[in-house]
Amino acid sequence: MPTLLELQTAMRQSLVHRDIAAVSAMLAAHVAPDRLDIYRNTFLLTLTKALRLCFPAVQKLVGEEFFEDAAQVFIAERPPRAAWLDQYGAEFPDFLCAFAPAASVPYLGDVAKLEWAVNCALHAADAEPLDAAGLACVAPEDQGRIRLIANPSIALVQLGYPADTIWRAVLAGDDDALQKIDLDCGPVHVLVERRTRGVEVERLDVRPWEFLAVLCAGEPIETAIESSDGFDCSSALAEHIALGRFRCFELAPDVGDRVPSTAIPR
Amino acid sequence: MHPASISKSSLIPARAGIGLRFQHHQPVLDTRPDVAWMEVHTENYMGGGTPLKYLDAIRRDTPISLHGVGLSLGSAEGVDPAHLERIRRVAERVEPGLMSEHIAWNLVGGTYLADLLPLPMTEEALDVVCRHVEQTQSYLKRRILVENPSTYVAFGNSIIPEWEFMATVAARTGCGILCDVNNICVSAHNHGWDASGYLAALPPDAVGEIHLAGHSIRTFADGSSLRIDDHGSKVTKEVWTLYRQAVARFGAVPTLIEWDNEIPPLDVLLDEAQHAERVIAAWQESNGHADAA
């Protein structure tokens, strides 16, 4: 008699890899093995639906059938690891980039990357914005160590193709706009965030994008300003804070603050 | 651990409620329907943003029950602690009147199989489920209800009747039973069980909630048929008959109308809930509890 783990492993083999031999042998006598198809169908339909919800523009670009085929291959290769399907599909953009049948649509991976960022922004945890008054209370000697923690909905995405314009045109069904897109315009830099009205996708110039990216990576404000190369970062910073792009701040550890390891704690 | 048993419905009344899905968020806010309580899938509220905002607004007037579909109480390798923590956080935020999970599994080898999969009815599976129910109740610091599954296959090594499995889990862990009457109807047909006998074998004191839903019937070339628990239509006559038997045995308990596929306008759900309310009221009248509701 199979152990529970053996049975569950056999069931996974039938669902993910369509190999029903092992689990068929474990069924009761009155059960025809084709009943397993019901579970296989539910598994595929549920996960394909999750991917469809997350990647609507990708689906429109390649068509429903192609999308389903690609999703089936992806699901078998990368089934979900957690029972939170809003978070399923992180690896789909990279999968599409390497998916040979999609090679004729070179920007597909970038559109998927953008849609994943939009999905993450949609489901990101709620966060109260940083209270700027708290920043003013930091002692002057510590101000160089302030680093900001980004609102969890924020993503800074760099795309080789103008996938933001493609994404908008595809979802709007605007074929004219789609025709006018210059695929060779070079990389674009995009800010994705959830605001009260919904998820917004905004294209930034490279310098403001890099400045915000450094801040969101948790580097001290001072470091971000130093590396910003002449662009007016103080007004950019004030705007980011006013728009609630950070939820709090903390002080980066200072070498000067370190207590010798032999010190007796008070 | 045997958590202190809470009263059958400290917050969720022993009346009919509806499963709340995203399509009905706005209609519910717009029309404020007269429905005693609502239930949502825990997994749909694990992130931030719009869904939680709607739920916050709706639960000001309406008690909410949290029904999880992902915890995998029957996994040999254990439940995912990260998922348990996500459930705890949703509960902290939503303050549900009831919380429930399934006698099923979906996690093996770290893969989430996105369904409520059938367990073999063995002593090993019983031990595994009881261990995980206890772990869940102690982590959430409250009693949970566990739902009987709908199944299409059965395993050769099953030796415990499903109704006995359910009763034993409740007896050993102190958890309640969410008696899904539609699932009993579906599984009884698919495996040749006696649905009324199933109901009669459940311990009335443990039943804290009832689910009702629609199912479909698939007929095969050889003339055999299988009932599919697809929650995509009205509750069938057969299930209403079974429900009356359930109320006669368990008394008035919170009863939910579930609908997950081809979701109809809100009014259709409310009509179904009214139907269940009438069954509860009729039972109360015949038992001299007319003023209990």
Query: Residue B88 falls within a domain, yes or no?
Result: yes
Which chain A residues are Cβ-neighbours of B105 within 8 angstroms?
Answer: 8
Q: What is the CATH number of domain A128-253?
A: 3.90.930
- What is the spatial distance between Cα A131 and Cα A145, in angstroms, rounded to a whole number? 18
Model pLDDT, residue B6: 41
Model pLDDT, residue A264: 53
Which chain A residues are Cβ-neighbours of B115 within 8 angstroms?
Answer: 15, 39, 42-43, 46
Which chain A residues are Cβ-neighbours of B119 within 8 angstroms?
Answer: 4
Query: Residue B6 falls within a domain, yes or no?
Result: no
Query: Residue B198 falls within a domain, yes or no?
Result: yes
> How confident is the model over B143-156, as a mean pLDDT?
98
Spatial CA neighbour of B102 closest among B67, B139, B127? B67
Query: Residue B1 falls within a domain, yes or no?
Result: no
- Distances from the Cα of A217 to the Cαs of A131, A132, A158, B103, in angstroms? 20, 19, 15, 43
Question: Model confidence over B161-187: pLDDT tens digits?
Answer: 999 999 999 999 999 999 999 999 999
Q: Which domain holds residue B168?
A: 16-286
**Residue B260 pLDDT > 70:** yes
Length of chain A: 266
Which chain B residues are Cβ-neighbours of A46 within 8 angstroms?
Answer: 114-115
Which chain A residues are Cβ-neighbours of B192 within 8 angstroms?
Answer: 30
Task: Measure in Å the smallest separation between the Cα of A266 and chain B Cα atoms.
Answer: 35
A39/B117 CB distance under 8 A: yes
Instruction: Give the largest Cα separation in chain B, rounded.
Output: 54
- Distances from the Cα of B81 to the Cαs of B86, B91, B94, in angstroms? 9, 15, 20
Spatial CA neighbour of A199 closest among A135, A152, A252, A254? A152
For an interface test with A, which of B102, B127, B155, B227 has the most A Cβ atoms less than 10 Å from its Cβ?
B155
- Report helix, strand or coil for A245: coil
- Residue of chain B with shortest Cα separation from A82: B112
Three state DSSP letters for chain B:
CCCCCCCCCCCCCCCEEEECCHHHHHHHHHHCCCCCCEEEEHHHHCCCCHHHHHHHHHCCCCCEEEECCCCCCCCCCCCCHHHHHHHHHHHHHHCCCEEEEECCEEEECCEEEEEEECCCCCHHHHHHHHHHHHHHHHHHCCCCEEECCCCCCCECCCCCCHHHHHHHHHHHHCCEEEEEHHHHHHHHHHHCCCHHHHHHHCCHHHEEEEEECCCEEEECCCCCEEEECCCCCCCCHHHHHHHHHHHHHHCCCCEEECCCCCCCCHHHHHHHHHHHHHHHHHHHHHCCCCCCC
Burial of A261 from C-beta contacts in 10 A (0-12 / 13-18 / 19+)? exposed
Q: Where are the domains of chain A?
A: 128-253
H/E stretch holding A190 reads strand A188-195
Model pLDDT, residue B9: 36
Model pLDDT, residue B293: 45
Q: How does residue B245 score in pLDDT terms, banded at 50, 70 and 90?
A: very high
Task: State how many domains chain B has.
Answer: 1
- What is the spatial distance between Cα B293 and Cα B280, in angstroms, rounded to a whole number? 9
A26/B119 CB distance under 8 A: no
Check which CATH number belongs to the domain holding B206 and give it.
3.20.20.150
> How confident is the model over B65-75, as a mean pLDDT?
98
Query: Residue B5 falls within a domain, yes or no?
Result: no
A2/B157 CB distance under 8 A: yes
Which chain A residues are Cβ-neighbours of B157 within 8 angstroms?
Answer: 1-2, 7, 26
User: Helices (DSSP H) in chain A: which residue ranges?
Assistant: 4-16, 21-24, 36-54, 56-62, 64-77, 92-98, 108-123, 132-136, 163-172, 175-180, 206-216, 221-226, 233-242
User: Nearest Cβ partner of B106 from A36, A83, A86?
Assistant: A83
Query: Residue B172 falls within a domain, yes or no?
Result: yes
Model pLDDT, residue A265: 46
Residues of chain A whose pLDDT is less than 70? 255-266
Question: Model confidence over B28-58: pLDDT tens digits?
Answer: 999 999 999 999 999 999 999 999 999 999 9
Q: Are B177 and B211 in contact (CB under 8 A)?
A: no
Q: Tell me the β-bridge partners of A203.
A: A190
Task: Measure in Å the smallest separation between the Cα of A172 and chain B Cα atoms.
Answer: 22
User: Nearest Cβ partner of B108 from A9, A26, A123?
Assistant: A9
For an interface test with A, which of B54, B153, B217, B219 has the most A Cβ atoms less than 10 Å from its Cβ?
B153
Query: Residue B157 falls within a domain, yes or no?
Result: yes
Q: Which residues contact B235 (CB under 8 A, 6 or more apart)?
A: B182, B212, B213, B214, B243, B257, B272, B275
Model pLDDT, residue A261: 52
- Residue of chain B with shortest Cα separation from A36: B153
